[in-house]
Structure 1
Amino acid sequence: MERQVEEAARRWLADQGVSQVRDGWVSDEEPDVLLTANQVAHYWAGDVFAEDLHAADQVRLAFGLLDLLDEYWVTCEIRFANESAEAPLPADVLWDGYRQRLEAGREAEAVTYSLWVDWFEDHGTSATAFAEVLGNDIDRVVAERSEAPLRRARRVLECSGPVRWTVKELTYRTAMGLPDLHSAVFHGLLASFHDVYGDLEPAAARALLDQLDLPTNTQHLAELRHVLAAGYENHFRSPGAWDDAVRSCS
């Protein structure tokens, strides 16, 4: 499916006079000017949502551009379109696009970065976004233990720091039922403390941390346990707490 939408995006770019060459991209208007994938994303990705297509097809085409270009800016244009005055994008197609790419074997940095800094840091969208990409089906993911959904779970947990604790706690607890996800839960807890917008409840987070089956030499495990035991909620709201923990645990 991803290959099909990627090829559709390539054809759409060709219709705009943009084609891929050995070292980048070129446009018919300036064939001697080499463009990066990031420039292509900035110049053309937004135009997808001006096409005379059903909104669902616009979203699929935009995700095809994301597959083709692997640039975060494409996800920005998707969100801009979702927040436009026209109407929100079809939620089923939007979130299915995220889930598919979170499950794919290829790198998903643009997708996870988009979740982290756009959807999860915004408390107006984080609950819905987190539920759609993992919270709604974490029970099934843990029960079935299929490779692709587990890959999605790991990626979401690791970038879930900004999601409100009340939204993600149950998902964290459920994920702990599968040892394969323990490392991802740990990184989620770590990000919940260190992220500027990170959110956790120290006592509850410490209780989860103590139940994780992790190597004793896991980097930052002792320091995180120390700050949580001391009741600290966030690195930036408690300057110096982490440094104190590093000194205490060294």
Structure 2
Amino acid sequence: MSAAKPGELLTANQVAHSWAGDVFAEDLDSAAQVQLAFGLLDLLDEYWVTCEIRFANESGDGPLPADVLWDGYRQRLEADRDAEAVTYSLWVDWFEDHTTTATAFAEVLGNDIDRVVADHSEALLRRARRVLECSGPVPWRVKEPAYRTAASRPALHPALFRGLLTSFHDVYGDLEPAAALALLDRLDLPADTRHLAELRHVLAAGHKNHYRSPGAWNDALRSCS
């Protein structure tokens, strides 16, 4: 309900904008505040809640307890439910920011990629898939070791392909063409995978990013049609 207009129902997005920031004014220690914020995220499923978490981390009272913060992300990436708000938050807030991208990627996947690949847990694979798919903006030197390890697990190949594709197409995407092509050639993908041939074409030509070589993708589309 709206306090200003009793009887008017608020959308989840309106509730998030109205109340998510107040979580960090509660008389609780910072770890409990973070846990409460993630609980609100579970309830509302709104990206804005993750924004307030990020604002609190960067505020004068921050940073937030890293173990609680990143455990909150990992748990939701592993959960068998929609995680769009969480993956979008990683992509546009944590991964695109050069001051946080290395730490964020390490916390949600890089630090335990060996365990993820060796384990038979579907929850861990789910987290890996989601992180790989939105990892385009992460610097190549940061993500390449995890990419190479992920390539040893066929179940992660489609997500890894998506990561490579967005590494080329994203405005902030980053890859090294030769290394990315070698990795792409290791993936067991259907021959008719959409944009597989085009990605191989631009990488073989040495292109690093769609926006640095604006005509390269159209050339690949024509060549591979």
- TM-score, L = length of structure 1: 0.89
CA distance in 2, matches of 1:31, 1:213: 57
1:118 aligns with 2:75: no
Amino acid in the other structure paired with 2:42: D
Deviations 1:6-40 (A, max 9, x none): xxxxxxxxxxxxxxxxxxxx135422222110010
Instruction: Return the match for 2:180 from 205, 226, 234.
Output: 205
Instruction: Return the match for 1:216 from 185, 191, 200.
Output: 191
Displacement over 6 Å in runs of 4+: none
Whichever of the two has the greater Rg, that structure is: 1
The equivalent residue for 2:211 is 236
1:184 aligns with 2:159: yes
Greater shift in the superposed pair: 72-81 or 29-38: 29-38
The equivalent residue for 2:13 is 38
Q: CA deviation at 1:235?
A: 0.4
The equivalent residue for 1:4 is none
Q: 3-state SS of the aligned residue for 1:205? A: helix
Deviations 1:211-235 (A, max 9, x none): 1000000000000000000000000
Instruction: Return the match for 2:102 from 127, 131, 154.
Output: 127
**Structure 1 stretches of 5 or more lacking a match?**
1-25
Q: CA deviation at 1:86?
A: 1.4
Q: 3-state SS of the aligned residue for 1:140? A: helix
**Structure 2 stretches of 5 or more lacking a match?**
none
The equivalent residue for 1:193 is 168
The equivalent residue for 1:97 is 72
The equivalent residue for 1:7 is none
CA distance in 2, matches of 1:178, 1:61: 35
1:57 aligns with 2:32: yes
Deviations 1:64-112 (A, max 9, x none): 0100000000000000000001120000000000000000000000000
| Number of aligned positions between the proteins | 225
Q: CA deviation at 1:133?
A: 0.2
CA distance in 2, matches of 1:229, 1:111: 33
Q: CA deviation at 1:179?
A: 0.4
Q: CA deviation at 1:240?
A: 1.1
1:145 aligns with 2:120: yes
Deviations 1:169-188 (A, max 9, x none): 00000001110001111000
